[in-house]
Structure 1
Amino acid sequence: MTDLAHWLKGQTADHSLASAVLSMAAAGAELADILRLAPIAGQTGLAGSDNVQGEAQKALDVISNDIVLNHLRQNPAISILISEELDEAVDLSSQGPLIVATDPLDGSSNLDVNVTVGTIFSVLASEGGLLQKGRNQLAAGYVAYGPATSLVVRISGATSVFTLDRNGAWLQTLAEAKVPQASGEFAINTARERFWDAATTGYVKESVAGETGPAGKRYNMRWVGSMVADIHRILMRGGIFLYPLDSETKAKGGRLRLLYEANPMAWLIEGAGGRSTTGAQGILDIEPEHIHQRVPVILGSADEVRRVEERYARE
């Protein structure tokens, strides 16, 4: 099997970029060990503080952020870190050519029930500044901490999947992930139905109607509540993930963060043949306004995303 370091050599001649991915992979491997034993070590539960988003931090949110920060501080190629857990971008006292934006522990509310969580990251050129379109990403990926620990990463070509072995090596287990063009699954929090716009309501209603509705086929709903878990399922077997702009999130611009959630996930899904949108425009084409900007996120199997886009165009 190809390991991550050898794969990176074939993907890019930029040693700095390769080192940034390796640093995030090393942080993920360290965090995987901590998560595995967290209940025994008493590291679950709240940390007693809120992050910049106003969300209650778990103890492991803080620990994971520290782990990522420590690994990136040791890499001279990284000059700036943007983290969900930190109010401002962190200057790492390096003249390195790269910026890393990250959600160090996505889905941490699921930790206490032993559900898959993850680390999401995006790599940008520092010369472009903090606020860059998603299409400017040099690399993006996530680590999914589940029954196996998976690293999903894309430089510019295909989206590839690696698995952490017992010796701490990342071995390639899927060279080119392919999101099926069509699917019979959708992922959305239906408890928010009262806030949805007409396009979202119409899409879900059509899907629930199954073979008796306009889609002409049966659908199942899947919703984990951990973005990494939901997107990993879609990457591997298809489907669509929807966290649309609704009447409650409209004032904030959406629910999910552009730089370190929406952009890297859109980059990975599109690299696997899928599609992404806010409903109004492609996620990767959004001009960021601030580092913690929120946006609507709809992505997954291309045919399903197009169905949603067509509804937005009509509504």
Structure 2
Amino acid sequence: MPDDTNEAAGEPDSVVDAVFDAVAATAPAIRDALPGRRVESDDENPSGETVLAGDMYADELLGEALTAVDGVGAYVSEERPDATDAGEGYSVAVDPLDGSSNLRSNNAMGTVVGVYEGSLPATGHDLVAAGYTLLGPITTMVVADESGVREEVVTRAASGDVTRTVVDDDLTLPDEPTVYGFGGRVPDWTDAFREYAREVEDELKLRYGGSMVGDVNQVVTYGGVFAYPALTDAPDGKLRLSFEANPIAYVIERMGGASSDGTGSILDVDPDGLHDRVPLYVGNETLIDRLETALDE
């Protein structure tokens, strides 16, 4: 494992910083490549989903960049059945192009990253850092670690150099929630979740764009709740625990919010396999408490 002496002394973890340097460095290249990679590839991911050429390209770029980081021991991707061995160190789990279904409609997408101490599968309590990049009108990156949560803007100069500029070094979830976004088809929601949704839609504004990073970033910015719930035909939901749910739950909890799989914190979920799915609910604590109560009735 990486030496955590500096981190224990209150100094930044250099390996974690190098991981997010690598993620930031790939973001402009991923964005530039998207116009020509909006078509389906001939491949399926380990979850049986047909992937786009953009998914594969993002995975290739991130795999090369992250396995080159000294202190990264494994690269684990939603697009690969098994971990890629890189030596000794942290396991970095990645959803290379979250929301890639938005490519055709030209809406938001991004990359989700979780840095785990130890091999995967593991619980979210093994995360030492997590975050995501968002390819919106500008490229931003949210990074959470033991020191807190920060938002950065990622830019590339004419020289090709990529810069991370911190715009908020102490992100916390707004106290007054404003927005909600729920995935899945309404007819496929459970009765209990449907009742909860009806209450929430009377209180908050709908913000849902079909990309988890974009929808979660609305909650990060304005407060509220995001969910991809358990469905009647998919009780485990859609999102992958290691690559999507754990990292996002870690970010939201570090911001003072809460996460849940319907009964308790996402970070407590003990996975059986690398590509396990889980229902995901994140947001302001009061909204998540109400959700768990509604699902328990």
Hey, what does 2:4 align to over in structure 1? none
Hey, what does 1:213 align to over in structure 2? none
Shift, 1:157, TM fit: 2.8
Residues 43 and 50 in structure 2, CA contact (< 8 A), matched pair in contact too:
yes
> SS of 2:47's equivalent?
coil
Partners of 1:70 and 1:175 lie apart in 2 by 29
Hey, what does 1:83 align to over in structure 2? 77
Hey, what does 2:39 align to over in structure 1? 45
Partners of 2:10 and 2:47 lie apart in 1 by 35
From 218, 223, 233, the equivalent of 1:238 is 223
Distance 1:27-1:165 versus aligned 2 partners, 3 A rule: closer
Letter in 1 for 2:42: G
Letter in 2 for 1:245: A
Distance 1:271-1:54 versus aligned 2 partners, 3 A rule: same
From 266, 269, 274, the equivalent of 2:249 is 266
Partners of 1:107 and 1:308 lie apart in 2 by 25
Q: How do 1:88-167 and structure 2 match up within 5 A? A: 88-92=82-86, 94=87, 96-126=88-118, 129-167=119-157
2:10 corresponds to 1:25: no
From 196, 200, 205, the equivalent of 2:198 is 205
Q: Which runs of 4+ in 1 moved over 6 A?
A: none
Partners of 1:275 and 1:59 lie apart in 2 by 34
Shift, 1:154, TM fit: 0.8
Residues 129 and 146 in structure 2, CA contact (< 8 A), matched pair in contact too:
yes
Letter in 1 for 2:16: L
1:24-79 C-alpha deviation (Å, 9 max, x unpaired): 22222432333xxx32xx22211122111111111110100000011023223111
Letter in 2 for 1:188: F
Partners of 1:88 and 1:73 lie apart in 2 by 14
> SS of 1:201's equivalent?
helix
Partners of 2:194 and 2:248 lie apart in 1 by 24
From 277, 293, 296, the equivalent of 1:294 is 277
Shift, 1:198, TM fit: 2.9
Hey, what does 1:4 align to over in structure 2? none
1:196-229 C-alpha deviation (Å, 9 max, x unpaired): 2232111112234x2xxxxxxx332221110010
TM-score where L is the length of structure 1: 0.86
Partners of 1:180 and 1:255 lie apart in 2 by 27
What are structure 1's unaligned runs of at least 5 residues? 1-7, 211-217
2:186 corresponds to 1:193: yes
Partners of 2:237 and 2:179 lie apart in 1 by 23
Aligned residues: CA RMSD: 1.9
